[in-house]
Amino acid sequence: MDWLMSAEVYNTILVGSFVYAAFILVGAFLSKAPYGRFGSEGAGLSLSPRLGWFLMELPATLSFLWFYLHGKNASEWVPMIFLGVWLIHYANRGFIFPLLMRVASGSKGTFGLLVVVAGWLVTTLHGYLNAVFISHLSTHLTPDWLSDPRFLLGMAIYLFGFVMNVHSDAIIRNLRSKAEVESGERIYRIPQGGLFRYVTNPSYFTELVSFAGFAIATWSPGALFVLFVSAANLIPRAFQVHRWYLNKFDNYPRERKVLIPWVL
Ligand code: NDP
């Protein structure tokens, strides 16, 4: 696997990844990814949402760890800080978030197998492109980087995005009581409070903010890829979700923006 750590191979995979992300962007505008509110029970091959999320996100942790540990700077301080950030981020997305999800008991799968399989390539690339850069190819991630304005600003942005993302996901989760979930109902309500006062999709907004912060803090092309491919997935879906709420609820707050408070 050492050949995957060379700068030439890394750069080639990086370029290919951006091209792939451009295709994802087009695809996401043309169709709705079949999971969550746009997934339907028994349509095609589907998994339970909890298992679907867990499986789809797993390669991001495994591939990051694998490539990180093969990097020549794996035991340096600054790379280890980013290793910690990555593991916490994906512990939330890949393990805690699926575990806490409120899925109607007895319901069939609504998380398309295709979403999981397509997601595997992206989440594997997430891990590879970030870990190889952080623990092997970068030359600026020395202890001096800890006082660099890009590190300080980027980490502040990342932390704001991450905390508000967890908060927004929690508001959504609490829209269904445990009793409702146990009775097998799949209920949707209008989320209120937090950043939902301003936008329909604060989870998507803060996910993108956190990845923008991570890209600034690491100054890494791999992190830029994560930001780009996440935007390719989430911006079209944000418009689809906004339209879905407007169609479903007559009393949906019309003043809410789609994704970016006061802007979009
Ligand atoms: P889901 O559509 O799967 O929604 C998450 C959970 O909330 C599901 O259990 C869903 O139920 C439930 N839910 C959603 N809306 C309501 C509502 N109005 N009332 C009651 N329950 C509701 O996932 P999301 O697309 O919302 O994404 C979840 C997180 O993952 C976000 O933080 C997002 O930013 C992140 N993400 C990141 C991506 C990336 O590329 N980096 C890609 C996609 C997501 P049900 O399944 O029954 O619909």
pLDDT > 70 fraction of the chain, expressed in percent and rounded: 99
In a domain, 254, yes or no: no
Q: What pLDDT sits at residue 4?
A: 97
Read off φ and ψ for residue 105, nearest 5 degrees: -70, 140
Going from the C-alpha of 112 to that of each of 117, 188, 215, 217, the distances in angstroms are 9, 20, 30, 34
Q: Is the CB of 74 under 6 A from ligand 1?
A: no
Give nearest CA residue, ligand 1 atom 3: 36
Q: For a substitution probing ligand 1, which of 17, 20, 37 has the most ligand atoms within 8 Å of its CB?
A: 37
Q: What is the pTM of this model?
A: 0.96
pLDDT, tens digit, for every residue of 105-155? 877 788 999 999 999 999 999 999 999 999 999 999 999 999 999 999 999
In a domain, 258, yes or no: no
**77 Cα to the center of ligand 1, angstroms:** 35
In a domain, 86, yes or no: yes
Is the pLDDT confidence value at 43 over 80? no
In a domain, 150, yes or no: yes
In a domain, 55, yes or no: yes
Report which ligand 1 atom has the smallest distance to the Cα of 201. 26
Q: Is the CB of 150 under 6 A from ligand 1?
A: no
Q: Is the CB of 169 under 6 A from ligand 1?
A: yes
In a domain, 156, yes or no: yes
Work out the angle at residue 191's Cα, subtended by the Cα atoms of residues 190 and 192, and round it to the nearest 5 degrees.
115
Number of domains comprising the chain: 1
For residues 242 and 200, the answer to whether their CB atoms sit within 8 Å is yes
Range of the domain at 46: 2-248
In a domain, 237, yes or no: yes
Is the pLDDT confidence value at 42 over 70? no
pLDDT, tens digit, for every residue of 162-215? 999 999 999 999 999 999 999 988 899 999 999 999 999 999 999 999 999 999
Q: Is the CB of 49 under 6 A from ligand 1?
A: yes
Q: Alpha-carbon distance 41 to 18, whole Å?
A: 33
Q: What pLDDT sits at residue 110?
A: 87
In a domain, 261, yes or no: no
Q: What pLDDT sits at residue 232?
A: 98
